[in-house]
Structures are given as structure tokens and as C-alpha cells.
Amino acid sequence: MCRILLFLLAANRAAGIFFLTAVAVDRYFKIVHPRSCINRMGLGYALWVSLGLWALIFLATGYLLANEHFFYNRNQTQCESFNICMGFSPLSTWHNTFYVTQFFLPTLIVAFCSFRITWQLRVRTMDKKGKIKRAVQFVLAVALIFIICFFPSTISRIAVWILKAWYDECKYFQEANLAFYTSVCFTYFNSVLNPVVYYFSSPAFSGTFKKLLNKLLGRTEEDQDQMDSTQGNVSTVDKRKI
């Protein structure tokens, strides 16, 4: 159970980062390179990309299923993917390297996509239906999730890694270790934020969600259209007052 839990936690983090990055890259091609052949690929292509990302995630984190991860300290049994009091090993080195790399490399990709899409918004004076502006907002939301959810744990993990290289005794980096495990709580908050980002970034996703919600509430499409029309009239009146 310990190894399964650690594998699921690691896979959750990697999946959150990889799929957010993939959607940001998709927005980049649609806005910056609208005539690219990538944009003409359908759902089958998206399915293969998703399967490829899951395969990559499993290959990168599957090693956690191969070994037990019990550490014994003061009559307590701890389930941890790594232990600060243990020396360096090929497994721990890979774990630390992947943990840090899977943050910084996607962050660079998202930053590049953000810059190019934002620049495209400045170049194009005509933005039909606010498509580019929506893409900018989405990519910036992805960057914000990276900062809130993944940045604190990555920095604290690097601090633990550096302190372990400098000192041999555990007492010198206990505080950094506590900071790491505290910041890990923010990491898994992405599971809550990701659906919200997907909802506001994709009209198709939000439309499907509205249809499902209307079915659950027993509303008809006419009722929804009437509500949307009422909200539109209210916003128009408010703008005129301003």
C-alpha cells in the first residue's frame, strides 16, 4: 500500500504539470501558428498524445512500485519516497532530478508560450470574439498554478538536496525538510484548480458542463437561453450607465 500511495502521488504531480503544459502548447499553436498541420489533427491525435504522456509519466514514476519505502525512526515506521537521513543513491538521485526537472522544463515552455501569445495579442489589433485574449488568460492562469502549486515544493526540495551535500547530520536540514513536506500540500492543490482552469479556458468544455448541469437541475435549453439573454441585457445596461 505504501508504494502504491507514493506512486499515485508522484503520478498526480507529473500528470498535473504535463497536461497543463500540453494544453498551453496547444493554445500556442492555435494562436501563433494557426495554419500549422498540428491544428488540423482531430480527437484521435489528442488521444494518442494523452496516452503518450501517461506512458511517459509511468516510465518516470513507476520505479516507486518496485521497492518498499519504509523508514524506521524512533519506533516509528514512515512511508516516504526519500529520507533525508539516508545517503545519496542512484534511486534518490533520479527521484530528486526528475522532481526538479519536471517543474523547470515545463515552466520554461509555459513562459515561452505566454510571451509569444501575448506578443501576438499586441500585433493583432482585431481579435475576433476575444480568442487570443482568452488564450493569454489561460496560459497566465497555468503559470499562476505553477507558481502556487509547484514552485514552493521544488525550491524547498532543492534546499534539502543542497544541505544534504554540505552536511552529514540530519539535524542541520530538519527545518528545510519540514518546509518541503509543508509545501507539498500546495502541490496537490492543483487537482482542485485544474478543472476550474479548463472550464474557463474552453468554450466547448464549459458548454458541455452547462448542458450536464441543466440536465441535473431539470432545465431545458430554452430556460438556459432565456437566462443568458437576461444576463446579457443586464450587462449591457450596466455598461451604458458607466
Q: Each residue of 83-122: pLDDT tens digit?
A: 666 656 677 778 788 888 999 999 999 889 888 888 877 7
Burial 30-69 (b: 16+ CB within 10 A, else e): bbbeeeeeeeeeeeeeeeeeeeebeeebeebbebbeeeeb
Q: pLDDT value at position 160? A: 79
- Look at the pTM and tell me if it is higher than 0.85: no
In the chain, the percentage of residues whose pLDDT exceeds 90 is 7
- Domains of the chain plus CATH, in order, are 2-200 (1.20.1070.10)
